[in-house]
Amino acid sequence: MAKRPSPPSPPRLVDVAKAAGVSLATASRAMTGSTGVSAELAAHVQAIASQVGYVPNSHARALAGGQASMVGLIVHDVGDPYFGEIARGVLRETESRGYLALISQTERDPRAELARVRALRAHRVNSIVLAGSGYVEASTETDLAAELRSFTASGGRVAVIGRHHLQVDAVLPDNAAGGATLMGHLLGLGHRRLGVLGGPANLTTVEDRLTGLREAFGAAGLDWATVPLEHGDFTREGGAAATARLMRAHPELTAVVALNDPMAVGALSWLLNHGRRVPGEISVAGFDDVPVARDVYPALTTVALPMVGMGKQALELVLKPPAARPRRRRTRHELIVRASTAPPPA
């Protein structure tokens, strides 16, 4: 009986380096997300690795059972209460299932997202939850999308929270509908002279929430072009700075809508420190219902999203076998009316 030919050996890192035209050391740094390699060169090496079917040895060992119980969680900002609540949901679920979570942050830098995914792969993580807004320009996520395709093709699992453009399982917050509900509340109180504090303009979360506000404003027969908008960081400091610009240019406003709660807290602080009565002279509303929203004075009217539940849902998705098509889980939202909003002054 003729002897069967032995199966071809899997591609090695040296094969990737040769095909990419780089040294073995450079190929290693590119695959692990280490410093000393430009984003462009790293993307090139990663693309070649994907083409030849190379899987880092550490990741291959994970697929064989070495570290399959580890889950990577990547968030924009660990100091943002929104991501803290999502992380709580993920960690509750990992602990109940006997998994270990590795958490890292990107500070809303697409290059950092790519590096974190590569680093998690190098650390033998087989499941990744990526939480945080996507980007309005889909091309911003091209390299990340290619990396995730390589990861899932090699057996890895990914779920995202708040991302539209990545073709993986996703949990999608009810951002547009929440914005419409919040605007309906303020219009119902009688406000017509409103201003908006937006987060970074390149985020789809900002775009979606603005879409909801704009559509509700237009549905009331009002002209959105009359609504001033100031973008800033999604932080308390960003909210205060944006409020300063907004109020100096438009002192006649009777309501300020912030697209997340830390910005709204910054708005409250600036207004109160500058002698404005909230809500007697001007109302303030936020978005997300992070824990601090109920503790500030006056307590903050906001749109609640099930942030802990979103983390739990994403973890459940990432631990399920892959489906034929990416799954989408859409959340609910709830308007939480507190003391920071009231009818405008007569």
The burial class, CB within 10 Å (0-12 / 13-18 / 19+), for 41 is: middle
Of residues 96 and 55, the one with the higher pLDDT is 96
Give me the pLDDT at residue 189, please.
Answer: 98
Give me the pLDDT at residue 46, please.
Answer: 86
Give me the pLDDT at residue 64, please.
Answer: 45
pLDDT(58) > 70: no
Q: Which of 114, 283, 125, 275 is nearest to 193 (CA)?
A: 283
Query: What is the rounded average pLDDT of the residues 104-109?
Result: 93
pLDDT digits (tens, 9 = 90+) for 268-280: 999 999 999 999 9
Q: What percent of the chain has pLDDT over 70?
A: 92
pLDDT(63) > 50: no
Q: In what order do the strands lie in the sheet with 194-198?
A: 229-231, 194-198, 255-258, 283-285
CA 46 to chain centre: 24
Query: What is the rounded average pLDDT of the residues 89-99?
Result: 91
Q: What average pLDDT does the structure give for the chain?
A: 91
Report d(CA 121, CA 59) in Å as an integer.
Answer: 6
pLDDT(5) > 80: no
Report d(CA 182, CA 160) in Å as an integer.
Answer: 25
Omega into 10 within 30° of 0, i.e. cis?
no
Which two tokens mark 249?
């240019």
Ramachandran sector of residue 124 (left: φ over 0; alpha: ψ -120 to 50; beta: rest): left
Give me the pLDDT at residue 144, please.
Answer: 95
Give me the pLDDT at residue 208, please.
Answer: 97
Contact by Cβ (8 Å): 117, 128: yes
The whole-model pTM stands at: 0.80
pLDDT digits (tens, 9 = 90+) for 117-136: 999 998 889 999 999 999 99
**Residue 43 carries which side chain, given as an amino acid letter?**
A
pLDDT(60) > 90: no
Task: Please tell me the least confidently modeled range out of 29-43, 87-101, 230-244, 329-343.
Answer: 29-43
Report d(CA 12, CA 9) in Å as an integer.
Answer: 9
Report d(CA 223, CA 66) in Å as an integer.
Answer: 59
Contact by Cβ (8 Å): 104, 129: no
Task: Please tell me the least confidently modeled range out of 28-42, 108-122, 230-244, 299-313.
Answer: 28-42
DSSP line for 69-132: TEEEEEES-TTSHHHHHHHHHHHHHHHHHT-EEEEEE-TT-HHHHHHHHHHHHHTT--EEEEES
pLDDT(83) > 60: yes
Of the pLDDT bands very low, low, confident and very high (cuts 50, 70, 90), residue 67 is very low
Ramachandran sector of residue 21 (left: φ over 0; alpha: ψ -120 to 50; beta: rest): left
For the chain, list the strands marked E by DSSP: 70-75, 100-105, 127-131, 157-161, 169-172, 194-198, 229-231, 255-258, 283-285, 302-304, 328-330, 334-336
| Count of alpha carbons within 13 angstroms of residue 252, beta-carbon side | 5
Give me the pLDDT at residue 49, please.
Answer: 87
Query: What is the rounded average pLDDT of the residues 175-181?
Result: 98
Most confident of 4-8, 14-18, 141-145, 250-254: 250-254
Of the pLDDT bands very low, low, confident and very high (cuts 50, 70, 90), residue 2 is low
pLDDT digits (tens, 9 = 90+) for 14-37: 889 999 999 988 888 888 766 678
- Write the CB contacts of 200 (distance below 8 Å, at least 6 apart in sequence): 108, 206, 231, 233, 234
Give me the pLDDT at residue 25, please.
Answer: 86
